[in-house]
Every structure is written in structure tokens, then in C-alpha cells.
Structure 1
């Protein structure tokens, strides 16, 4: 289900963050790509993939762009923002592909910025 064109998320929302590494795969494609495509198909408001310069996780192995041998497995996060109801409904779909990877949820506020529009009651 894709959100209607021009729909803007405002007010209280939930930010979902998935912590991965570049080497994580789902059926021969990057896991981050799979998550973004599933979020889009589910009609969530937005998803972005961020590639980290350095980090470590459960393995305690530091991955860094400064060491050529480890620069192929840098940390990656996928951030998704939508209403709490829609994000929580997406969690079972996400769990199928993420397994035991770290996933966090944080409440966020999405402000209205820019000029007022008719949609805002102005």
C-alpha cells in the first residue's frame, strides 16, 4: 500500500532504526535494500540508508573505512519514520528479514516547516 501523493507526516511519529553491516544479505541482495523496498511496499512515509565510517556491534570487531581490509564491511543503518501504528504494524514484516539484529524505536516529532498551506487550514 503506497501512501497518497502529497501526504505529509506531521506531529507525533515513531523512528525505527535497524543496525546492519554492508555484508548483510537477503537472497543475494543487500539487506538494507530489502528493508527499504519492504517499507516502500508497506506504504511507510520514508526510509533512508546511512553508511557509517566506523563502528562495531555484537561481534566487538571495529569496522572502519581507515583500514582497507575492513572497509568492505562498514556499518549501515536503515531509518524509517511514520506513525506509531504503521511502524509497529511493519515490525513483523521486518523481523522476517532481520532476525536477531539490533532494531530500536524512538518517539519523534515531525514539525510543520515552511509556508502554511490550505492543507494546514491556512
Structure 2
């Protein structure tokens, strides 16, 4: 999906401006979905990193000085459970929402003219599929 001088609408469509408009919308949607995915995965990774840090390093204390070294750890308490649940639930919900978006989004059928090569490909696929069903 690049914006080169030679494009798909040249010489194949009844109205190249409409085809270029559709292609521009598709390029924008592709870029938006790519940014959405990267942002969501970054937030999920941040939440899981904070969760692992809280679980493994949240209750560890270490002191070092001249001739002494002190290390202490204590177990998690009941008061830590809501923090752990929140830090694990939020990224899970973000991942579920992202997967549902990509699974359930509808590609609307455009009423704008397609290039002749695309129309021929669609008709060929329909013909092959109807031949396989019989």
C-alpha cells in the first residue's frame, strides 16, 4: 500500500477519482489499525511488566553499606490482591477488545466502481466456487 505515481486506478476504472478515494480510505484505515495495534500491545506490555515487577520485586528490600549487607523479603498480603488482579485484568481486557475488533469488524461492500481486473477476479472466484458446490 504505497502512494506511487502508477496506481491501480490508471486506465481500469470508469471514474479513477472515485477509485483513488476508496484506495486512500483503505490506506488510512490500514495505518490507523496498525497504530492501534502497536499502541495496545505497548500498553499491555507495560501493564505486564509492572505486574511482574510488583510480584517479584515489590516486597524485596536490600541494603548494603560498609561491611554489611541486608536482604529482606516478605510475602504478599491480602491487601495486595486487588493490585495484582487489576494489573492482570486490564491488559487482558485490552487484548480481548483488540481481538474482537479485528474479528468482528465488517468490511462494507463499496458501491463505487472497481477496476476491471478486480471485477474479473471477483467473477472468477464466484464461478470457481459455484462449480465446486455442485
TM tier relative to shorter chain: under 0.3
Q: Compare CA radii of gyration and give the structure with the larger one.
A: 2
Structure with the higher strand share, 1 or 2: 1
Relative contact order higher in (CA < 8 Å, ≥ 6 apart) = 1
Task: Judging by fraction of residues, say which structure has more helix.
Answer: 2
TM-score of the superposed pair, with normalisation by structure 2: 0.21
